[in-house]
Amino acid sequence: MAAYLIRRLWQMVPTLLGVVLLVFLLFKFFGGDPAEILGGLDATPEQVDAIRQQLGLNEPWWVQLGIFLKQIVTFDWGKSWATGEAVGHLFATRLPATLTVMVPILLLDVLLAVPIALGVAYLRGSLTDRLVMIATTVALSISFLVYVIVGQYVFGFRLGWFPVQGWSDSTLTNLVTYAPLPVLLAVAVGIAPQTRLYRSFFLDELGQDYVRTARAKGLSEPRVLFKHVLRNAMIPILTNVGLMLPGIFVGSFLIEVFFSIPGLGREVLLAVNRSDYPVIQAVTIYLAVLTMFINLGTDLMYKVVDPRVVLK
């Protein structure tokens, strides 16, 4: 296990270097001129040159690449070009709000989709199975924007169960008061495809010979489902959860905009509109690193779920 872990961590280095080089080249040679954007339409050429000099954009590209690499190694991304706030401070103050929304979405997606999918897979072909599949198909056909508009109108304005917007400094208050509505809507969107996918995983396992053998030995259906079928289906489920994590992180950006949540996602979208490269680059690199560690954690979980898995 230790040798595998060290080898995987070492393999991340060239991958990360490739991502860093790609991000730098895209922003350097294919992005717009931040000095002109920050200067505005009325800025004179002298003012644009002064901004470019202040931001270090007049330096040769290899010097800028060296500065970029130093920022990554030291975790010091400098300051936002638009607001002057330190990028590290921006991450530290905005990330808790993002996690307050993202973590409940992930947990509820998995904890609800797995038992529902297992139940409808066991009842395959029944009226319940068909109704659930119809409901998930309809849910997949509706845009997330429709969920937001209808959810805010019904639960916020008409029923008054949840506030449509707002945030506080208390994590508990946010979880109880402000986060439930966006989390509820995000789970309503995400649970449909997960249920359909996990159902197919369970159906594949229910058709295996070991299930028929377990039933022939007289094992009860709950034991067959939860001890054998669920355990063997956990590997593809873990793979899907690992792939889903970065998507939930990015998807929470839209939720923060719709519900005015002061999280990292809203800052990233503002940075994109302002061509605030330090913020965008930092998020891109961190998201790449997060994805690599999620993949590593998923591979390690395979061994926990199924001891027969050999990590090479």
SS3 state of residue 220: coil
For the stretch 174-192, pLDDT in tens is 888 888 888 888 888 888 8
Per-residue buried b or exposed e for 277-303, using 16+ beta carbons within 10 Å of the residue's own CB = bbbbbbbbbbebeebbebbbebbbbbe
Task: Give the whole-angstrom CA distance, residue 24 versus residue 277.
Answer: 10
The pTM is what? Answer: 0.75
In total, the chain counts a number of residues equal to: 312
Looking at residue 292, its pLDDT comes to 83
Task: Give the whole-angstrom CA distance, residue 118 versus residue 208.
Answer: 15
Q: Which residue has the higher pLDDT, 1 or 121?
A: 121
Which position has the token pair 């002057």?
84
For residue 27, the tally of other CB atoms under 10 A from its CB is 19
The distance between the two most distant Cα atoms of the chain, rounded to a whole number of Å, is 85
Determine contact, residues 38/51, Cβ cutoff 8 Å. yes
- What stretches of the chain show up as alpha helix (H) in DSSP? 2-25, 34-39, 45-55, 61-74, 87-122, 127-140, 144-151, 171-173, 180-206, 209-216, 221-223, 230-258, 264-274, 277-305
Determine contact, residues 57/70, Cβ cutoff 8 Å. no
Task: Give the whole-angstrom CA distance, residue 263 versus residue 93.
Answer: 8
Domains and CATH numbers, the chain: 87-305 (1.10.3720.10)
Q: Does pLDDT of 41 surpass 80?
A: no
φ/ψ of 205, rounded to 5, equals -75, -35
Q: What confidence tier does 289 reach under pLDDT thresholds 50, 70, 90? A: confident
Q: What confidence tier does 276 reach under pLDDT thresholds 50, 70, 90? A: confident
For the stretch 151-181, pLDDT in tens is 888 888 888 888 888 788 887 888 888 888 8
